[in-house]
Amino acid sequence: MTRGKNRLFSNDWPIWKVLTLVPIPLGGFAALVAIVPSYSPQALAVGIGLTVVAAVWISISRSWWAAMVFINSWLLLMLGVAIRAWAKVIPQVWIWLVPLLAAYVVAWALPALSPKLSARLLREQLAPETRCGRGCLTLVLVVGPAAGTLGASVGMYGSRFGQGTAVTIAIAVLFSAGAVGFAQAVAEQSWLKRPWAQPADSGARDGTR
């Protein structure tokens, strides 16, 4: 029973189907990492490596751990775009890299560090109760769908009009916020499904203990 609870992916998917479908979207994101903000063979190699690891792991194991590797491959590719954009804007790596990586690690660890705060942040992301939360959700819904298209278009032609740096900063901020925000949301939702979870753990999120 416990094993079935922790298996997050369908066992009906054959290996060939997983190996076909998983690399397609991940491969597209790997290509994005390679070309944003400018082409880098090293970034392409890292993106392809993450894609291969995620595809192979999820094809041989449908466990909670495999799901975490798969999800992190997405988020790390997103984080990679942000890192490359920040590096182009601010050459002093330590200024932005340490806070960014620290925020990403804390986002994943927050369900264990502060269960109530983690649950509240997830609620604010999905069904915000505060004015600030509603404003952020509205901004994401309005700006999010257009951000990719506008970023690609302006990125291709913006440098001709002196807007290259502004676009790179926008990419850095959006992808940083996206990677950290999604990490916290996924961490909170998957924390209670971890293999070593105890029934009493859920009480820490609803104030019953």
In contact, 50 and 33? CB cutoff 8 Å: no
pTM of the model: 0.75
Using alpha carbons only, what angle is made at residue 14 by residues 8 and 19, rounded to the nearest 5 degrees? 85
Where is 154: in which H helix or E strand? helix 131-157
Angstrom distance (rounded) from CA 63 to CA 113: 24
pLDDT of amino acid 37: 78
pLDDT of amino acid 25: 81
Q: What is the pLDDT of residues 149-198, one digit of tens each?
A: 555 554 555 544 444 677 788 888 888 988 998 898 899 988 888 888 76
pLDDT of amino acid 102: 95
Q: Is residue 128 pLDDT above 50, yes or no?
A: yes
Mean pLDDT of 119-131: 72
pLDDT of amino acid 202: 56
Report the 3 state secondary structure along 110-149.
HHHHCHHHHHHHHHHHHCCCCHHHHHHHHHHHHHHHHHHH
Q: What is the pLDDT of residues 86-118, one digit of tens each?
A: 998 898 888 999 999 999 999 999 998 988 888
Cis peptide bond prior to 37, omega within 30° of 0: yes
Domain ranges of the chain: 2-206
pLDDT of amino acid 86: 92
Where is 195: in which H helix or E strand? none
Q: What is the pLDDT of residues 65-81, one digit of tens each?
A: 888 888 899 899 999 99
Q: What is the pLDDT of residues 3-58, one digit of tens each?
A: 444 444 445 566 766 777 777 888 888 888 888 878 889 999 999 998 888 888 88
pLDDT of amino acid 10: 44
